[in-house]
Amino acid sequence: MNAHTLLFAAILGMAGMLTGCQTLRTATPGAPYEVVAHRPTNPSAVRVKVSLAKQQVYVMEGDRALLAAATCVGTPEKPTPRGNFRVYLKNANKRSYSYGFWVRGNEIVAGKSGASPGGGGWRYVGYPMQYWVEFSPAYGFHQGYVWPMARTHGCLRFHKTVAPKFFALVQTGTPVNIAYTQPEDETIGRSLPRPGDFQDPDPPASFMISSAAFAPPPGPLFKGG
């Protein structure tokens, strides 16, 4: 079991057995996962719709889908909030205030921010949550492993190829609607692919605590550049 799985399994318990959302079919491990994003004509008309049942996000401009992608949602114990919100904070290089690593010299231990391993000399470094888009206090969209079941503390995770595109599409004030289902589930959401990144090996902890964890996205974000 890798460090990422150890950390979050300990925090969430038997997350894979939770039944708050269906378990969804995922791509073959290691298979590429690319989602096309389209540049909006009117950025102020962009809105975000989240389907908790499908664990999918639709970024819309009127009836036009700018991006449709898989996400990972909160567990029944720590659910993703439902309702209408607006984006009010964006931070491309955010780290978690609650979960991450304790570092002392060459020692790196996964843990919570309020639970030092003991002894002196430790410093806390939060888990990277790149391309953070906050819509409610302590709740946001961000880059992370996209599991096929409810797995987060209420945040909404995107695959590393999707997070920078979503970050570029939304702005402060963009409306966000989170509901159990969305009308788009039966149209553009019927056969969306899902990534298998949750089965990938973790990067070394030394990488996760470094600035290298915040790499810029490769290539253009929108179709056509």
Single-letter amino acid, residue 164: P
In a domain, 77, yes or no: yes
Residue 12 has a pLDDT of 37
Please, are residues 34 and 70 in contact by the beta-carbon 8 Å criterion? no
Phi, psi of 117 (to 5 degrees): -60, -15
Six-digit token string for 188: 């553009």
- Choose between 48 and 18: higher pLDDT: 48
Question: Residue 47 corresponds to which tokens in the numbers above?
Answer: 């809105």
Q: Does residue 67 form part of some domain?
A: yes
**Helix, strand, or coil (residue 92):** strand
Instruction: Work out the mean pLDDT of the chain and round it to a whole number.
Output: 89
Confidence of residue 28 (pLDDT cuts 50, 70, 90): low
Average pLDDT over residues 21-47: 81
Number of residues in the chain:
225
Does 204 map to a domain? yes
- The enclosing H or E element of 206 equals helix 205-208
Q: Does residue 221 lie within any of the structural domains?
A: no
Q: Which domain holds residue 133?
A: 3-26+44-213
Domain count within the chain: 1
Q: Is residue 35 part of a domain?
A: no
Phi, psi of 71 (to 5 degrees): -140, 175
Tens of pLDDT, residue by residue over 73-130, are 999 999 999 999 999 999 999 999 999 999 999 999 999 999 999 889 999 999 999 9
CATH (domain of 171): 2.40.440.10
> Is residue 170, in this structure, part of any structural domain at all?
yes
38 falls within a domain: no
Within-domain flag for 105:
yes
Listed residue (84, 89, 88) closest to 176, CA to CA: 84
Pairing relation of β-strands 175-179 and 46-51? parallel
